[in-house]
A and B are shown apart, each in its own frame.
Chain A
Amino acid sequence: MSAQKNYDVVIVGAGIAGAIAAYKLAQAGKSVLILDGGAEVPPDRSAYMEKFYLSMAKTPESPYPNDADDPRPLVLDINTWKDRPPTGYFVQNGPLPFASTYERVAGGTTWHWMGTSLRLLPNDFRIQSMYGHGVDWPYDYNELQPWYGRAEWEIGVAANVADQEYHGLTFSDPNDPSKPYNYPMPGILQAYLDTQLAAKIGNLTIEGQQITVSPTPQARNSIPFDSRRVCAGNTNCIPICPIQAKYDATIHIAKAQNLGVDVWYKTVVYSLSVDKTSGLISSVNYKQYDDPSGPATGEGSVSAGLYIMAAHAIETPKILLNSATNELPNGVANSSTQVGKNLMDHPVQLSWALMTDPLYPFRGPLSTSGIESLRDGDFRKQHAPFRMEIGNEGWNWANNDPWNSVNEFIAAGQFGSTLKSNLNSLFIRQFRFGSLIEQMPLETNCIVPSKQYTDNLGIPRPEISYDLDDYTKAGFADARDVAVQLFDVMGATDHTTVDPANSAAFTYQGQTYILNGAGHVMGTYRMGADRTQFVLDANQQSYDHSNLFMLGSGVFPSVGTANPTLTIAATTLKVVDYIIRSVLK
């Protein structure tokens, strides 16, 4: 690497948290280095798009490199998660598989996020005090509210406030609470099928909540914004937006680099070192590679005044735990012994159906609306809440369509105009709900560095134990019941199938369900007021090492039902502001 500068801050991970943090710190005049395990951001997305076009299975990770030196889990790994030696990157101990994945390229998983930018609800911050489940955040919605607004402007979220004022959500100008707030862009137009579903649902109350189809706040352009194009509805937010109408973190990597931030790519951090006298972090230790499937070509350490871990909720605890020494046998930042524990996701219940009338799916962003009605309510005393994402891609996720149905019809002997019209009739009436359930934290859901299995660079792979508690499962079962009820109200025919042999099947109260991952990897280095229970304080500063901060969804004490990215951005802006004002001043 080039001669080392004196950096004020070293950040591990060039995802949304690391990139925004670097940008903001550089704006404040700090010298910043980001280390990222993946290859550099390509000049254009043609190589990724080519890989996507030519992939047989167009999974979320299909466009991106699968490098032995910088490995990550694949969604299809879940089919064989019990195999030993493990066929995928994760070593999974069960009893359920952890079904979510993430990317380890520069820009991180925002390369294939949906763009859904919901705020957590006020009651999500206090579920223990309100409902007796989970844990409260160390602060309330009002404290995060201005940072949500700033995050929405930073990444570019399209929504109308009037559509989002439910379950006690309030909006005001981040810099002047007496003034109203506006999102930076008007809301994305709802898909035709959303308005059809809303009309068919009509006036309906379930579990005390009026059922409403709400437009989803989305980090994609509804008008030209930040030198990027308007969304053209390529229906491909996941795995990859071809035209970058959707925000991804490469935007902030570029902005940070334009302010002088250095980024070292192909630099895989595997541990932190601690100064024995001061107890401060003294260096970040990394390996480097040239050929992504070749051996390490370098190994080194880099030091700075302040360290920020932003490597997401699997890699960050892996690195902290892998830093164990005789002096710190539990690893770095782990006097609470909570590092790596309370791994959470939003388990997804998929229900799919055929409408009587055409809905014309497969057109527009992958989802433009959801039913947010059951994200909060007194029922949270009994079972987990959920949001119902309305899929705009027919049975693509649910049944790998159009591929499966085309093949099924051809195998049945159909051809010519009969085939064409039967496919048309099927595809234009398909829709699905994906209900994202709030998962409760469990200490036994954990990630540790594997003692047995390492990656190509000799770095331990993540070993995961994972399960759902009964409160979460009850929410899962309720999500399924509500989907069936809505299908019934709308006159739609349920086509949901459940294969008990599925590697992600589980049973609850005699019913079998299939667990799907939302790609929302959360928990594992949570913040909270009690240093014996939490890894970080409310400023996301390590209780054990004052020059160590952590960002990302790993800090969430509990996860609500909002897709986590916006909250990652909001908490990042909040913490970086604290660092600039109080730590590096």
Chain B
Amino acid sequence: MSSDPDLTNFVGLSAVLTGYTTDQLFPPISPEPVAVEYLNTLKANVAATLVNQILTTFQNIAAQQPPNIDQEVQQQILDDPAMGPVARNIIRMWYLSIWYDLNQQQPITGFSAGTVVSMNAYTKGLAWDAAQAHPMGYSEMHYGYWATPPES
């Protein structure tokens, strides 16, 4: 894991928010870790105090090693009127590789305004993994793979 505590907390929080492991979100040896891009995007779009509040809150939750970390994150972060919308935007970012503008009509939909974080991010969107597929336009699989169900 990273020596940057912000990154460590961000990846830890992201794992709870997305349902993926920290190693999946931030592999130990990775040429283009998208977690770094996402943290940078978060910091570029959200006030530093709010980012700190989210990461610190998560750090405190994690330090206590609660039996149900999902429940703690929900109650302390997702249900918080200030932190909740940002946390949900973090989930959207991981799944769809998009940072949606927060100052627009809610709820955010597929047609809301936003920015694709990067080409690298697009190729690593989790929505495609959740579908046991690959990003449209970026497949690493071989001819005919579509004729049989995916490897589990």
Contact = CB atoms under 8 A, between A and B. Distances in A.
A392 B112 contact: no
Interface string B112-152: 11111011001100111011111011110111111111100
A97 B5 CA distance: 55
A407 B109 CA distance: 5
B19 to A, nearest CB: 4
A53 B116 contact: yes
Size range of the interface on A?
35 or more
B35 interface: no
Contact of A365 (B73, B142, B146): B146
A368 interface: yes
Interface in B28-78: 70, 73-74, 78
Contact of B131 (A53, A195, A418, A427): A427
A401 B139 CA distance: 17
Contacts, number: 173
A233 B91 contact: no
B22 interface: no
A429 B136 CA distance: 17
A360 B108 contact: no
B98 interface: yes
Interface in A410-466: 410-411, 413, 415-421, 423-424, 427-428
A410 B127 contact: no
Contact of A233 (B74, B115, B139): B139
A415 B91 contact: yes
A404 B106 CA distance: 14
A191 B146 contact: yes
A195 B144 CA distance: 14
B146 A233 contact: yes
A407 B85 CA distance: 12
B107 A407 contact: yes
Contacts of A234: 134, 136-139
B139 A230 contact: no
B146 A424 contact: no
A411 B107 contact: yes
Given A415-B74, A419-B18, A420-B20, A236 B136 contact: yes
A192 B147 contact: yes
Given A232-B141, A235-B133, A56 B98 contact: yes
Contact of B132 (A57, A58, A232, A428): A428
Given A232-B139, A363-B146, A400-B110, A419 B91 contact: yes
A364 interface: yes
Contacts of B130: 402, 420, 423-424, 427
Given A55-B116, A427-B127, 19 more contacts: A49-B137, A52-B137, A53-B119, A53-B122, A53-B137, A56-B116, A233-B145, A235-B134, A236-B136, A361-B131, A363-B141, A365-B146, A396-B136, A400-B110, A404-B109, A415-B91, A419-B19, A424-B130, A428-B132
18 contacts: A53-B119, A55-B116, A191-B147, A232-B139, A234-B138, A235-B137, A236-B136, A360-B132, A362-B136, A394-B131, A404-B111, A410-B95, A411-B109, A415-B17, A415-B70, A416-B16, A416-B18, A424-B131
